[in-house]
């Protein structure tokens, strides 16, 4: 195996590691290392598209890492987005608390959507939401 192949496989391995990171800081650091490895691989192998892509991605990863370190919020500030994003970071369990948390998020999102509607639209939204909740789908059983 040539040095060029080793550089390519190393870069691919670093990129693969970024997909198993749970910490954003660690992910960005690995991505920056992977960008450097792919830049060297692209230069050694004469692969201009790979080289250009990772030269463009490296500063973006550095910028996002600096944003994360400085504490700049990267999430949208709307309540609906926060309600939708909130459970993704919480550990999931199959107990009653998990179902209650999901129902709470559903109602927070529905409430946010409802508050942006006119009075007549709010009534229609409430009726549709209640009907949807009360009527089971025909032909399907709860498993």
Could you read off the pLDDT of 32-81 as tens digits, one per residue? 999 999 999 999 999 999 999 999 999 999 999 999 888 875 555 445 44
pLDDT at 83: 47
CB atoms within 10 A of CB 31: 23
3-class secondary structure, 138: coil
Longest dimension (CA), the chain: 70
- Give Cα separations from 134 to 10, 19, 39, 129 (angstroms): 55, 40, 57, 9
pTM: 0.52
């Amino acid at each position: 195996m040539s040095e060029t192949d080793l550089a390519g496989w190393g870069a691919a391995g670093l990129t693969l590691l970024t997909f198993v990171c749970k910490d954003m800081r660690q992910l960005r650091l690995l991505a920056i290392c992977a960008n450097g490895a792919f830049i060297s691989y692209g230069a050694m192998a004469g692969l201009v598209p790979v080289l250009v892509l990772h030269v463009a991605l490296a500063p973006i990863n550095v910028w996002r890492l600096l944003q994360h370190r400085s504490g700049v919020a990267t999430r949208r500030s709307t309540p609906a987005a926060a309600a939708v994003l909130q459970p993704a970071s919480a550990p999931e369990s199959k107990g009653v608390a998990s179902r209650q948390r999901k129902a709470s998020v559903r109602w927070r999102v529905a409430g946010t959507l409802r508050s942006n509607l006119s009075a007549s639209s709010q009534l229609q939204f409430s009726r549709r939401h209640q009907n949807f909740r009360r009527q089971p789908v025909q032909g399907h059983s709860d498993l």
